[in-house]
């Protein structure tokens, strides 16, 4: 596989060859070599998880992925860190590097905060979600999940609905889907639809029935209240009526459409509870399962290509 960039901050610059190799490796991890064999892969490495914003799935997924490959994991409790004593973010990173971290996984509420910082770092920085910008491993695990259920991504019709204005997950997914030649539709109320979204390379809709029509994949997104500034937060009941994904609205998609959600699911807001639990359509827990395998592939690649 061609070398990865030193850091993984975005999906935009990944090549198809690199993405294919990551998916193949994730598939290998899923279908499994014996656990004892895997443990040798990152033995002696230390991964630091540094989360400045809430997370359950992503943090634990990175931790499990690292541990399955034999690495040590250090979770930093940010509220007790020396940033509170006036240390800069970069100084903190350089200290973690000097302490022997082999890679740092960071979630941060500010968009693009890792771009400048990572230029000063010799060890890989992995973006686990920066503000409204990107969440590259989520994008990778999502397209990996689509491939496992639907095969080729080329010509796949993917509808992404909900709070696109604040969704880093959507952005990381769309960069990847466009590379593969999938057709992407974005569905949101006007107030939650970014202007000039992907320079017109994504078709935008305000009507769910129209946007979902004939889709192979429908992805629901949470209303990301914590990332909203002065915008008006929609009334949840009204929102569900127009934009909540349920069996009724899903009838407009292909009969075998899969339903995805990066989580956390707000049942009865972006997604109806019965649909979230319907094994005929919902692949939501598969996304979570596949996420560990994809993060194993990412960690291994970033940590071993520098050797």
User: What is residue 137's three-state secondary structure?
Assistant: helix
- The CB-of-55 to ligand NCD minimum distance in angstroms stands at 6
- Beginning with the edge strand found earlier in the chain, give each strand of the sheet holding 203-205 in spatial order: 203-205, 183-187, 157-161, 217-220, 258-260
Buried b (16+ CB within 10 A) or exposed e, 209-247: eebbeebbbbbbbbbbeebbeeeeebeeeebbeebbbbe
- The CB-of-128 to ligand NCD minimum distance in angstroms stands at 7
- The CB-of-166 to ligand NCD minimum distance in angstroms stands at 8
**Which residue sits closest to ligand NCD, CB atoms considered?**
222
Structure tokens, 267: 């049942």
- The CB-of-40 to ligand NCD minimum distance in angstroms stands at 29
Nearer residue to ligand NCD within complex by CB, 168 or 252: 168
- The CB-of-240 to ligand NCD minimum distance in angstroms stands at 16
Q: Are 123 and 18 in contact (CB under 8 A)?
A: no
Nearer residue to ligand NCD within complex by CB, 170 or 303: 170
- The CB-of-207 to ligand NCD minimum distance in angstroms stands at 23
Evaluated on CA atoms 226, 227, 233, 236, the torsion sign reads: negative
Nearer residue to ligand NCD within complex by CB, 108 or 135: 135
User: How many other β-carbons are positioned within 10 Å of the β-carbon of residue 125?
Assistant: 24
Q: Tokens 């656990």 identify what position?
A: 35
Q: Are 59 and 33 in contact (CB under 8 A)?
A: no
User: What is residue 192's three-state secondary structure?
Assistant: helix
DSSP lists the bridge partners of residue 160 as 186, 219
- The CB-of-169 to ligand NCD minimum distance in angstroms stands at 5
Nearer residue to ligand NCD within complex by CB, 162 or 211: 162
Nearer residue to ligand NCD within complex by CB, 39 or 57: 57
Q: Are 25 and 305 in contact (CB under 8 A)?
A: no
Question: How is residue 112 annotated by DSSP?
Answer: T
Interaction site with ligand NCD (CB under 6 A) = 57-58, 129, 135, 138, 168-169, 222, 224, 262-263
Q: CA-to-CA distance for 302 and 115, rounded, in angstroms? A: 17
Nearer residue to ligand NCD within complex by CB, 124 or 262: 262
Nearer residue to ligand NCD within complex by CB, 58 or 97: 58
């Amino acid at each position: 596989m061609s070398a990865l960039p030193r850091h993984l901050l975005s999906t935009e610059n990944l090549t198809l060859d690199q993405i294919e190799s990551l998916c193949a490796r994730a598939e290998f991890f899923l279908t499994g070599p014996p656990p004892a064999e895997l443990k040798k892969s990152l033995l002696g490495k230390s991964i630091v998880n540094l989360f400045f914003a809430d997370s359950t799935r992503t943090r634990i997924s990175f931790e499990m992925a690292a541990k399955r490959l034999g690495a040590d994991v250090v979770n930093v409790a940010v509220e007790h860190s020396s940033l509170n004593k006036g240390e800069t973010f970069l100084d903190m990173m350089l200290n973690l590097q000097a302490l022997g971290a082999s890679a740092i996984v960071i979630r941060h509420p500010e968009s693009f905060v890792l771009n400048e910082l990572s230029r000063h770092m010799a060890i890989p920085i992995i973006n686990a979600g920066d503000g409204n910008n990107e969440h590259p491993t989520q994008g990778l695990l999502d397209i990996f999940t689509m491939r496992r259920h639907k095969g080729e991504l080329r010509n796949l019709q993917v509808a992404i609905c909900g709070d696109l204005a604040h969704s880093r997950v959507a952005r990381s997914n769309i960069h990847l889907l466009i590379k593969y030649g999938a057709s992407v539709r974005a569905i949101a109320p006007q107030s939650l639809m970014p202007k000039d979204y992907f320079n017109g390379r994504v078709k935008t809709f305000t009507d769910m029935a129209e946007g979902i029509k004939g889709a192979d994949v429908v992805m629901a997104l949470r209303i990301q209240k914590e990332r909203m500034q002065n915008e008006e937060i929609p009334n949840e009941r009204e929102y569900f009526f127009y934009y909540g994904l349920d069996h009724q609205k899903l009838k407009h998609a292909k009969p075998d459409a899969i339903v995805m959600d990066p989580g956390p699911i707000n049942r009865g807001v972006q997604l109806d509870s019965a649909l979230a639990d319907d094994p005929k359509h919902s692949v939501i827990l598969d996304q979570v399962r596949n996420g560990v395998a994809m993060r194993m592939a990412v960690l291994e690649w970033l940590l071993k290509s520098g050797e």
